[in-house]
Structure 1
Amino acid sequence: MDFVEVRVQVAPELADILVAELGEVGFDTFEDNDEGFCAYISEPDFNPEAVQEVITRYAGLGEIRHEHRVITRQNWNAEWEKNFQPLIIADRVSVRAPFHPKPEGMDYDIVIMPRMSFGTGHHETTALMIENQLTLDHQGLRILDMGCGTGILAIMAAQLGAREVLAVDVEPWTAENAADNAAENGCANIEARLGGVEVLAGEAPFDMILANINRNVLLEDMGAYAQLLPVSRPILFSGFYQEDLPKIDAEAQRHGLRYQSHRTKNNWVSAIFTKL
């Protein structure tokens, strides 16, 4: 299965509205850029008429240009290698490809090679999640990483001292990629598993949950996450905009999760909740 990338050129004040609307028609990954944003969806789920309907609905509010292309597994790797630059998060975490040299003076060094997987640390949500992880004690914990992408958050958890990490994603190449990246970073305590929330049935509780997905999936699956979290243990959410935080908070409260704090960057949010 390949992805479709829809590249939208639009003013910043209209971009957030379009991202929310495209999320309602199946797009689940977004990347901001200087001209607007890119939205991603698996090719079988792509409906060009639904995209055009969204664009037409808001065309009167400002100029909107859009185009789409299919990104195959092969050209995604080439595209990423061509454009990827090493990244430093919170002055403590290096995120780089295997072909980049290891920087000096970092507390943590994560090596990532995505294969049709999202989550290199360059997107605001991934960086925000890592910044929140750095504030929490992971030592000896059993941790769940839902929507693991490249496995970057699972690897961060392992490097922070987690005893065991289960990384779960619905895309076959993503689970495979997370496993490869875990091995590249010497994290034998990470298990990458294919599937969604259903593969958590029968699992023992987790000491911490990381869920960087998107608003709709978080709202739908939050009850399942809450059932796997002991009292007083944290759950980190990301993949949504600041205006969606009240919805996330309301649903969290329904499942016995209490808001603690959140970080924002370019209107993206990563929030920490704890189980009551």
Structure 2
Amino acid sequence: MLWLLRHYHLSDQQAALLADSFAEHEYHDFTQSSHVAGGQELTCYGRDGALPTAIEELLQPYSMQSQTLVDERDLLRPYDPQQPVWLRDDVVLLGDGMQAPENASIRIPLHSGPAFGDGRHPTTRLAAAMMAHVPWHLGLRTIDMGAGSGVLGILAHHCGAQLCALTDIDADSLRSCRENLQRNNCPSSLAQHAHLLQGLHLDPVEVIIANIYAELLEEMLLSPECHTLLPQGWMILSGISHQKIAHLRLILKQHGWMIQDECDEAWWHALCVHK
């Protein structure tokens, strides 16, 4: 089956009004996400290559940005557990027994475990996108905080980073992380039980990667361990909800961090910051 994907850039008020109208017509095949230029990005999905007539009429006053026709198999492929996951245009994650696509520059084998970080969640993809701004070829000393499966720290390793620690507080996550480190020729001992940066006995590092909720990011940014372990360098911050992003930007500014880039998907944001 072919699906029509129609994209609009709307104000917050327009998006809210349309969402209410869609609900009245029992139309649920749409997504909304914050747009980098402000407002909302609306994507409407039409079965068999067309939108319902009533939805077309509701959308008529608004200017369409673009539309495409997509085969349902291509639309669902990112969610198929038997298929490799593209974390970024050049990075693919491979489960047990999967063959790597020839056009993947970086291929990361991952254990199919319970840990967060299989590449299918927007926050993991957003963090990976922001990591492209870091000069990993310099061999930067790096911590992956709240590592889950370890996929982001392992990506940094493949890009040239010197991994110092991958931390988590969940025992199952740490087991998966150690397995994935071994699969990617990294010492499993790098995976450490720690809440944020507490209890890490390390020399200062140059990069911290953290894909965790904004409340924990704030706790980390205000902690003495952050200032000790990363007096200057880079941070990749993801897992920030739309409601929390403005507050986190303010905290970063207050502590001398400059935002190098920002991206979002659905209601999640990620930042690349530098001091």
- Which 5+ residue runs of structure 2 have no aligned equivalent? 1-14, 17-28, 32-78
* 1:111–1:184 CA contact under 8 A, matched in 2: yes
Instruction: Report the residue type matching 1:228 in the other structure.
Output: L
1:126 aligned to which of 124, 127, 133: 124
> Residues 122 and 152 from structure 1, CA distance in 2 versus in 1: closer, same or farther, beyond 3 angstroms?
same
1:162-195 CA distance string (max 9 Å, x none): 1223100010111121111011122238710012
Q: In 2, distance between residues paired with 1:165 and 1:126? A: 20
Q: In 2, distance between residues paired with 1:204 and 1:159? A: 22
Q: Tell me which residue corresponds to 2:183.
A: 184
Q: In 2, distance between residues paired with 1:132 and 1:256? A: 19
Q: Secondary structure at the match of 1:136?
A: coil
The number of aligned residues is 200
Instruction: Report the residue type matching 1:220 in the other structure.
Output: E
> Residues 208 and 201 from structure 1, CA distance in 2 versus in 1: closer, same or farther, beyond 3 angstroms?
same
Q: Tell whether 2:156 aligns with 1:157.
A: yes
Highest RCO, 1 vs 2 (Cα 8 Å, sep ≥ 6): 2
Q: Tell whether 2:242 aligns with 1:242.
A: yes
Q: In 2, distance between residues paired with 1:144 and 1:130? A: 15
> Residues 198 and 210 from structure 1, CA distance in 2 versus in 1: closer, same or farther, beyond 3 angstroms?
closer
Give TM-score scaled by structure 1 length. 0.66
Q: Secondary structure at the match of 2:111?
A: coil
- Which 5+ residue runs of structure 1 have no aligned equivalent? 1-11, 14-33, 37-80
150-159 vs 112-121, greater mean Cα deviation: 112-121
Give TM-score scaled by structure 2 length. 0.66
Instruction: Report the residue type matching 1:105 in the other structure.
Output: N
Instruction: Report the residue type matching 2:235 in the other structure.
Output: I
- Which structure's residues are more often helix, by fraction? 1
Q: Secondary structure at the match of 2:264?
A: strand
1:101 aligned to which of 76, 99, 103: 99
Q: In 2, distance between residues paired with 1:35 and 1:253? A: 35
Instruction: Report the residue type matching 2:153 in the other structure.
Output: A
Q: Tell whether 2:167 aligns with 1:168.
A: yes
Q: In 2, distance between residues paired with 1:109 and 1:126? A: 16
- Alignment of structure 1 residues 1-276 onto 2, 5 Å: 83=81, 85-139=83-137, 140-188=139-187, 191-197=190-196, 199-224=198-223, 225-231=226-232, 233-275=233-275
Q: In 1, distance between residues paired with 2:166 and 2:100? A: 25
Q: Tell me which residue corresponds to 1:77.
A: none
Instruction: Report the residue type matching 1:148 in the other structure.
Output: A
Q: Tell me which residue corresponds to 1:28.
A: none
1:171-226 CA distance string (max 9 Å, x none): 01111211110111222387100121354444211110101000111111212324
Q: Tell me which residue corresponds to 2:26.
A: none
Instruction: Report the residue type matching 2:88 in the other structure.
Output: A
* 2:205–2:230 CA contact under 8 A, matched in 1: yes
Structure number, greater radius of gyration: 2
Q: In 1, distance between residues paired with 2:178 and 2:188? A: 10
* 2:169–2:194 CA contact under 8 A, matched in 1: yes
Instruction: Report the residue type matching 2:272 in the other structure.
Output: I
Sequence identity percentage:
25
Instruction: Report the residue type matching 2:229 in the other structure.
Output: L
> Residues 144 and 183 from structure 1, CA distance in 2 versus in 1: closer, same or farther, beyond 3 angstroms?
same
CA RMSD of aligned residues (A): 2.5
